[in-house]
Amino acid sequence: MVHSTPRAATGDPAHADPAAHEFDRDTALVPRGDATFDAVISGGWSVLGAVNGGYLKALLGRALSRTLPHPHPCTATAHYLSAPTPGPAVLRATVLRTGRTLSTGTVSLHQTGSDGAEVERVRMTATHGDLAALTDHVGTSATPPAVAPYDRCLALDAAGAPGALTDTPIVERLASRLDPDSVGWALGNPSGRGRMAGWFAFADGREPDPLSLLLVGDAMPPAAFDLGVVGWTPTVELTTHVRALPQPGPLCVVTATRNPAGGFLEEDAEIWDSAGRLVAQSRQLARMPRTAAG
Amino acid sequence: MVHSTPRAATGDPAHADPAAHEFDRDTALVPRGDATFDAVISGGWSVLGAVNGGYLKALLGRALSRTLPHPHPCTATAHYLSAPTPGPAVLRATVLRTGRTLSTGTVSLHQTGSDGAEVERVRMTATHGDLAALTDHVGTSATPPAVAPYDRCLALDAAGAPGALTDTPIVERLASRLDPDSVGWALGNPSGRGRMAGWFAFADGREPDPLSLLLVGDAMPPAAFDLGVVGWTPTVELTTHVRALPQPGPLCVVTATRNPAGGFLEEDAEIWDSAGRLVAQSRQLARMPRTAAG
């Protein structure tokens, strides 16, 4: 696995053709009309054998972008109902309300179960807007996190992750890096702070956009790993606020949990773009692995 | 307006009768069957003339509690589609998935508009569970916020709020208090930190439960007031994670915004119970008042 610094979008002729990038191919939709779409869930974005929730969210987000009059998810919440499998899926979107600057819709992803019956996998409701039309006002008081530069952070394979992360092909799709301070879990020495910091980038150089930010919030190793809880933390619900159009380049991502309790934990993610703008905030509720839930 | 210390539940005979408390009367539902309910939106929980989003969320939450096999909202997300008016409303709930420990449903609140057509006001999706059945594990690393004791905090009227808060009857339903450090906005001297700390309690002594926590996350003065932005900040979306059964007594609530930008802001709330447990975390996306959005 080769992790080079991701290519800049400028001058990348592939950038103009969505089908040239893995993320866009794997979230492609075939419209049936009536706000119904066919898709194929890729097996390439899985983590510990489970289809990544952020990837699924982007797939549902694309269906809403094609259905609502406003292009960008401003706030999107997905509830994960049953475990999807790679293969065919049907997405059905419904418009709930359209306004001048915002519109809201809901979308469900279904698959045919082993008994031939249709099963709902994910339900998402989102309010869309046009991030290019927002005011220039930036009153952000949050400060960008202290993370080592991309070139001094560690690729997941270099961090020794493969030993812990079997059946996790998503790492091959990403050129993500972890801060040296966040890799202790992979060496059996987690910091105990419940914090994961690093950089997100697509391995094939695709640049970030609002749709891909729905993936980014769920694409770092779980913050629970830094608590010594290395196992699958299935997402119950994931909400993403996309607050600005991201600039090209790797995204700085910090995830943290402050309330692992009762068998569940929240995980917050902050996503900063190359211009130092806080472009997205996400929070999920996840289950702790059973062995760690006490 | 008299703000006494709220009565303790123990020995309060009214506690056994839901209809004895304003919150329960104003979220009462009349089932039609088929997971459809009639309700009457009260005008008593309004803020600056608008029906409070947390109150509406509790109303929808009650409909899901009656429809799903699990009693408590673990994570609930409401999208606010159009402005409700006090008066009759219809709620329609749908079960999306039932499992052993969690179940998920969606519910919509409709009213009849001035033209006689039905209009959807709020859409909520929630995953329910049984908070009494969670494990005893508490690994919370967040620390309770530094807030002055209830008796040394200020009632909203004592803080001079009525001058800024016209048409805000919710303050009469609550015995909430603000930390002396959080009342500068009411005196024309906001701290600029975007933080609001204090205590939440019902004026009639009703004790907290999971349903009422859906209100609490949206019932403090907006954190934007502490930035000098005193005006209506309409909620676009509000997500609440309820993480434990709250103990009786006033709840310590801290709200904060770190990313007011582009005409929107997020507001995070942490809710701590009298036993020092972080019982709920909420986040909303809201619009900045137009004058402040640059």
The model's confidence at residue A16, banded by pLDDT at 50, 70 and 90, is very low
Chain A contact set for B266 (CB, 8 A) = 241, 243, 281
Q: Which two tokens stand for residue B24?
A: 């329960």
> Residue B238: its chain A contacts at CB < 8 A?
none
Structural contact between residues B242 and B54, judged by C-beta atoms closer than 8 angstroms:
no
Q: By the CB < 8 Å criterion, does A260 face chain B? A: yes
Q: Do B96 and A106 touch (CB under 8 A)?
A: no
pLDDT of residue B186: 85
- pLDDT tens-digit profile of A158-211? 555 545 567 888 989 999 999 999 999 888 899 999 999 999 999 999 999 999
Residue entry with tokens 């056994």: B16
* pLDDT tops 90 at residue A58: yes
Q: Which residues of chain B have pLDDT under 50?
A: 1-16, 162, 293-294
Across the interface, of B75, B125, B258, the residue whose CB is closest to A125 is: B125
What's the confidence (pLDDT) of residue A159?
Answer: 52
Residue A140 inside a domain? The answer is no
Are A131 and B104 a contacting pair at CB < 8 A?
A: no
Residues 97-116, chain A, touching B (beta carbon < 8 A): 97, 102, 104, 106
More confident residue, A7 or A266: A266
The per-residue pLDDT for B286 is 97
Predicted pLDDT at B126: 98
Report pLDDT for A18: 58
Residue B280 backbone phi and psi in degrees, to 5: -155, 150
Instruction: Please check whether residue B42 lies inside any domain of the structure.
Output: yes
Classify residue A51: in a domain, yes or no. Answer: yes
Is B259–A96 a contact, with Cβ atoms under 8 angstroms apart? Answer: no
Distances (CA, A) of B153 to A135, A294, B148: 37, 38, 6
- Give chain B positions within 8 Å (CB) of A224: none
Domain interval for residue A225 = 13-133+147-292
Give the model's pLDDT for residue A160.
54
Q: What is the number of helices (H) and of strands (E) in chain A?
A: 4, 15
**pLDDT digits over A86-121, tens only?**
999 999 999 999 999 999 999 999 999 889 999 999
Report A:66-95 residues touching B (Cβ under 8 A). Answer: 74-75, 77, 79, 81-82
3-state secondary structure of A247: coil
The CATH number for A182's domain is: 2.40.160.210
Pick from A73, A36, A33: nearest CA to A243: A73
Query: What total of structural domains would you count in chain B?
Result: 1
Q: What percent of chain A has a predicted confidence (pLDDT) above 70?
A: 89
Distance CA B95, CA B66 (A): 11
The SS3 assignment for B45 reads helix
Q: How many CB pairs under 8 A join A and B?
A: 169
Inside any domain, residue A2: no
Cβ–Cβ contact B290 with A under 8 A: no
Q: Is residue B6 part of a domain?
A: no
pLDDT value of position B61: 98
pLDDT of the residue at A5: 43
Tokens of A261: 């309790």
Identity of residue A46: S
**Per-residue confidence (pLDDT) for residue B159, from 0 to 100:** 53
Paired sense of beta strands B278-287 and A235-242, if any: unpaired
Summary mean pLDDT of chain A: 90
Structure confidence at residue A56 as a pLDDT band (50, 70, 90): very high
For residue B196, give the 3-state DSSP assignment.
strand
Residue B52 domain flag: yes
What's the ipTM?
0.92
Determine the Cα–Cα distance for residues B39 and B41; give it in Å rounded to an integer.
6
Residue B136 lies in a domain: no
Contact B259/A142, CB-based, under 8 Å?
yes
Other beta carbons within 10 angstroms of residue A13's beta carbon come to: 7
pLDDT at A1 over 60: no
Specify if A195 maps to a domain. Answer: yes
DSSP string, A255-275: EE-S--BTTEEEEEEEEE-TT
Distance CA A216, CA B33 (A): 42
- The pLDDT assigned to A17 comes to 61
Cβ–Cβ below 8 Å for B74 and A285: yes
Tell me the chain B residues in contact with residue A138 when contact means C-beta distances shorter than 8 Å. 261-262
A290 or A133, higher pLDDT: A133
Inform me whether the C-beta atom of residue A52 falls under 8 Å from chain B C-beta atoms: no
Reference A47, options A177, A232, A266; nearest CA is A232
- B205 to chain A, any CB pair closer than 8 A? The answer is no
pLDDT at A275 over 90: yes
